[in-house]
Structure 1
Amino acid sequence: MKRHPLSIAIAVALGVVLGVPGIARGETIELRSGFETETLAGTSGGTQASDDCGAIAARPNHELRLTEDFSYLRISIAGGGNPTLLVVGPDNSDRFCARNTPQQSGYLQQGTYYIYVGDRNGEAHPYTLSISEIP
């Protein structure tokens, strides 16, 4: 059976919209001080091999916009498989990868951070991302 090119394009588009594992949605969150805790969900892993943070999506899973400097912020991942946390800061040389305990905490300056939730084994698993001002 020969498929029409339009039906193939529609199938690919539906796969992106419905969340095929490894395709990042690029969800954005903007934070100001005083928020306490925010949680987001997603699927770990992807098709891109990072240097040190397992398999990640081609685009960030989340974009974090900080409207001011934070003296303390904790970003952590809870989920199945072997999740990793890759955070790329406002200056692309600001890069942090957490492999064994997927979390980062401490001072973060104002700006946009790109968050990738990878997997050391290249698998895809549901996860919860937590961002908090509470130590």
Structure 2
Amino acid sequence: MLLTMTKKSSKAPAKKPAAKAAAKPAAKKTATKAASTKVAKTQLVELVADKTGLTKKQSEEAVSAMLDAVVSAVKGGQSVGLPGLGTLSVKATAARTGVRPGTSEKIQIPAGKKVAFKVASTLKGNL
């Protein structure tokens, strides 16, 4: 199947150069569509500025302060409840035995901590 796909792709540009040119913008559209599903910090700052009437600089300071507070609380082992969104918390993981993928050698994985997120029931119900 891979050889068939390779043959088709090598023949297509020679016969139909317009089809190749038309395929590239479609690929770019899907790439931008995939990128648009994530809200970056700058976009979040713009949303806060629009909703609150603050300047972008003030909004950036407010968003940064909130994120710093959440990160420091989670690092300190506290749970952070974000109403309407969910709760971030720290959970301990137990030591366990794992398998190294390349060699199938058994290794010991030490105990540690991980960040867990529980979605708020109001958000979960609205999805």
TM-score when normalising by structure 1: 0.27
Higher relative contact order (CA 8 A, sep 6+): 1
Q: Radius of gyration: which is bigger?
A: 2
TM-score when normalising by structure 2: 0.28
Q: Where is the strand percentage greater, Structure 1 or Structure 2?
A: 1
Q: Where is the helix percentage greater, Structure 1 or Structure 2?
A: 2
